[in-house]
A and B are shown apart, each in its own frame.
Chain A
Amino acid sequence: MRAGAPRDRARTVSVIDLGGGVSWVHECFPETDAHIHVSVYLVEAPEGAILMDSGSFHHRQRLADRIRDATAGRGIGAIVLSHSDYPHSGNIPAFRRDWGDFEIIASCGDPDLQGLPYARRTKIGDVTEVLGRRFVVLDPPLADRNHTTWVYDEASRTLFVADGFGTLHAPGACDIDWGRIPEDGRAEGVHEFHAQTLPWLRYADPDRVMGALHAMLEKHPPAWIAPIHGPPIAEADVPRYMADLSDALTRIAERN
């Protein structure tokens, strides 16, 4: 097993351990030609389990079962939300019914309008503590909704991201990290994902987007990039991912 490859914690498809108390609770959804991940991540914090995003209502029951299993029945103590888009935020009410009125950390300018009147607001640039673990709140260069934030977990050096850094995958390649996806078609999965998910990229200057991403990765070097809509990207694979992403942005820009 190469360094940094995720280890299956259980023989069943439960959660995949990325190390540092972070695990990938992968779920995906079939599109016409490929699968798209709509995952969540679990982070073990000193005072409880943090869920990064809440996943899609399609996967509600399975997610709830897997989270219960992975936390030995304790459930979750907080959710850090990337943005209040239904496939990311849709399970919050149900999970709060299951596990009590735990804390929701979200970045929106007006939580009421996003249907999250109970959320604790964070701002870009904050360093925020959640259940005793510190997260840096970052301004995402690849996002759809303006209130999206990415967070960097200092303890594990994991960068949690949505919607950027996704990769569409072939059926069957649902539970492997990015570096282990067969190279044939992998770059196309990066391109397809960004072309369909972030329509504004047709107007983008790829150099400006890539410049902002490189600056972020330099300041917050990730052991893992943990996307909601793609497999996790290990540190050793980040340069190859960034090269594929740069090509993808150039293709999207040139087509329009």
Chain B
Amino acid sequence: MNEPGSDTETTPAAAPMPAARTGAGWRRDVWPGIHWIQELGGHRAGIARAVLESGADWYRPGNELYVPQNAYLLTGERTLLWDTLSPASGHILLPALEELLGERPLDYLALSHPDVPHAGNTMQVLRRYPQCQLVAPAAGETHALYHLDDAMKVGPGDEIDLGGLRVRFPEATFLDAAIHTWMSEEATRTLFTVDWMGFPHQSGESLRRTDEIDTVVDVGRLEEFHSRVMFWFQYVHPHKVTAATDALAVQFAGYGLAPAHGLPIPGEDAAPYYERMNEVVRRVAAGGRGGVL
């Protein structure tokens, strides 16, 4: 297994990985037409300690532990960037875009929600690609407070045809802000979730899908993320959340998951993740939040 930044030496049979780059780098074709640009952030020592104390066996002491930010570039006949990473990573995002796009324009920049770690390079991207159409969630009332009043607004029922790829904007079932959307891509059958379904990974696992790592993403690993980010799970009726999760599992059966803060999960492996998330909610509702991210 390679460290991020090394040249690729293993090529998983299921998915050639022709170009993985740099510690915080980017990867071509996580699925056909979907490119993945990842920001690792720093080593999360506090979470690593909590993981070790929990007795989890997926984390190897001494490894760096990351809770990444992901952006995804979709290239059909037209191109769309989903989220922009944090302001600390403009120097990763823009060169990645230039290299992945080459001479092609960026046609759309779609934001899941105007949160700093996701929308932090919006202005830089729009300056670099002045013809690019900004796409924002229709949900919410305060777009002007986020400079989103002039954006193209999307929500359930809307579709952008990229030519070969088609994106839709289902409601964000678990949202942390009023102005928020998720996205699906219908040719590859991929659901892009933000922030839901995040989880930490360690050295050697960056830019890998879950079917390309040798550790498990179990309930405890998902809980490390959600007990911090979805702190409000501690105040819910768990059955309301699990009902919503079960509905998602049906609506998006067979879809791969491309989370903003974890590794992509192939469609054939996705079903048990919904079940694991239900257990996460029950645990946080009973035991309280795990901390702050």
| Chain A positions near chain B (C-beta within 8 angstroms) | 29, 31-32, 36, 38, 56-58, 84-87, 89, 107-110, 112-115, 117, 123-124, 139, 141, 143-147, 196-200, 202-205, 208-209, 212, 253, 256
Contact = CB atoms under 8 A, between A and B. Distances in A.
B38 to A, nearest CB: 13
Nearest to B291: A109
B141 A32 contact: yes
A112 B43 CA distance: 13
B235 A115 contact: no
Interface stretch (B94-102, B209-217, B224-232, B265-273): B224-232
Interface on chain B toward A: helix, strand, loop, or mixed SS? loop
Contacts of A107: 292
Contacts of A253: 237
A256 B240 contact: yes
A112 B86 contact: yes
Contact of B142 (A87, A112, A203): A87
Interface stretch (B48-56, B76-84, B157-165, B174-182): B174-182
Interface of B: 41-42, 44, 46, 69, 86-88, 114-117, 120, 140-142, 144-147, 174-178, 180, 228-232, 234-237, 240-241, 244, 289, 291-293
B236 A204 contact: yes
Interface on chain A toward B: helix, strand, loop, or mixed SS? loop
A108 B229 CA distance: 11
Contact of A196 (B114, B115, B117, B140): B140
A36 B231 CA distance: 25
Contacts of B115: 85, 145
Contact of A147 (B44, B46, B140, B293): B293
A108 B293 CA distance: 7
Given A113-B41, A115-B120, A29 B145 contact: yes
A196 B146 CA distance: 16
B141 A110 contact: no
Contacts of B46: 109
A209 B235 contact: yes
A200 B232 CA distance: 7
B120 A200 contact: no
B146 A146 contact: no
Contacts of A256: 240
Contacts of B146: 86-87
Contacts of B145: 29, 38, 56, 58, 86-87
B66 to A, nearest CB: 11
A98 to B, nearest CB: 21
Nearest to A107: B292
Contacts of A29: 142, 144-145
A143 B178 CA distance: 12
Contacts of A139: 289
